Amino acid sequence: MKSEFLRFHTIDNIELQGLFFKPEANDNSKAVIHIHGLSGNFYENHFIDSLARELTRFGYSFFVFNNRGHDYFTDLMKTSGKDISYIDGGGAYEIFSDCIYDIDAAIEYLKTAGIDAICLQGHSTGANKVAYYQYRKKIKKVKAIVLLSPCDDIGILQSRLGKNRFKKAIHRASNLVKANRGHTLMPTWAVFCPMSANTYLNSYSDKTPLDIFPYRNRRRSFRELSSIQTPMLILFGNNGEYVLGNISETLELIRSKAKSSSRVDTRIIDGAPHNYLGKETEVSKTILEWLRANF
């Protein structure tokens, strides 16, 4: 396995960083791009190590990178010609739909590296980003999709706060934004992790683009998921996973909504928590086996 540290830029001139793992052989025409979760980063989950070894061993390249929402807070370098400035980034300030720019940049880099077939893989909120991206862009080079623990973020937050406190939190965020104080952090009782009023309203208000997997309402169309035509693999753990209901029923719901996909496979990694800690080998082998059959 070979690896290369990369700096690359989005169309709106944000610098992103990542690692590109390549097989020893030169015929690495297929690659998996991994999208990390809310306030995460490309190196925190231990299954990344295992996946890098397994994928490259069987001829796949593997690209992991920090998107603009990495960690709670970060400075994002923005370039304009020779001018350099820094803007607030991280999960506290991320706007969900900007994931389009980040994933676009990763795919564009792989094109320059001679990759002609891509699997998009997302973990947690990264799974929401993958589904949203392919719904919006319909990239032909994307030949497969892997979703690890895709969440109903709004449903989980509503359940945690209760109906009245959830409305109170949305009202507070809305008032802050209207008062041009959208950069202000929300109170700790209202959030999973540090989050500005702008990001909170963007993530949890009505018709937010983040609401890709509304498991709380089985009657919803799951518009983004149902539009995806590529084969899909969806994994969950069953140890404290972020799912409101029964995981098996959730997977059944996903299969019923993914109407356009040529193939939908689901797996439960027994005993795995949301980050699959301690189950890395099983996760990587499950993904690799599926990719070799479908990608």
pLDDT in tens, 93-147: 999 999 999 999 999 999 998 999 999 999 999 999 999 999 999 999 999 999 9
Question: Which among 293, 214, 227, 236 has a CA at the least distance from the CA of 258?
Answer: 227
Do β-strands 61-66 and 2-9 pair in parallel, antiparallel, or remain unpaired? unpaired
- Beta-strand ranges (E) seen in the chain are 2-9, 15-22, 30-35, 61-66, 74-80, 83-89, 117-123, 142-148, 232-237, 264-269
Domains and CATH numbers, the chain: 2-150+214-294 (3.40.50.1820), 153-210 (no CATH)
CB-based contacts of 268: which residues, under 8 Å, 6+ apart?
235, 236, 237, 238, 247, 248, 251
pLDDT band at residue 24 using 50, 70 and 90 as cut-offs: confident
CB-based contacts of 185: which residues, under 8 Å, 6+ apart?
92, 194, 195, 196, 197
pLDDT band at residue 197 using 50, 70 and 90 as cut-offs: very high
Q: What is the mean pLDDT of residues 58-81?
A: 96
How many CA within 13 A on the CB side of residue 167? Answer: 2
CB-based contacts of 47: which residues, under 8 Å, 6+ apart?
275, 276, 279, 280, 283, 284
Q: 3-state SS of 197-253?
A: HHHHHHHHCCCCCCCCCCCCCCCCCCHHHHHCCCCEEEEEECCCCCCCCCHHHHHHH
pLDDT for the residue 26: 66
pLDDT for the residue 25: 78
Q: At what angle do helices 280-294 and 47-57 cross, to 10 degrees?
A: 40
Percent of the chain with pLDDT over 90: 93
Q: What is the mean pLDDT of residues 198-213?
A: 96
What rounded mean pLDDT belongs to the chain? Answer: 96
Place of tokens 């996909």: 261
pLDDT in tens, 212-238: 999 999 999 999 999 999 999 999 999
pLDDT in tens, 247-267: 999 999 999 999 999 999 999
Is residue 119 within 8 A of residue 230, CB to CB? The reply is no
Question: Which among 234, 228, 239, 233 has a CA at the least distance from the CA of 277?
Answer: 239
Is residue 215 within 8 A of residue 250, CB to CB? The reply is yes
Running DSSP on this structure, what letter comes out for residue 187?
Answer: P
| Beta partners for residue 7, in sequence order | 17
Running DSSP on this structure, what letter comes out for residue 97?
Answer: G
Return the amino acid letter for 193: C
Q: Give the whole-angstrom CA distance, residue 36 versus residue 33.
A: 10
pTM, two decimals, is 0.97
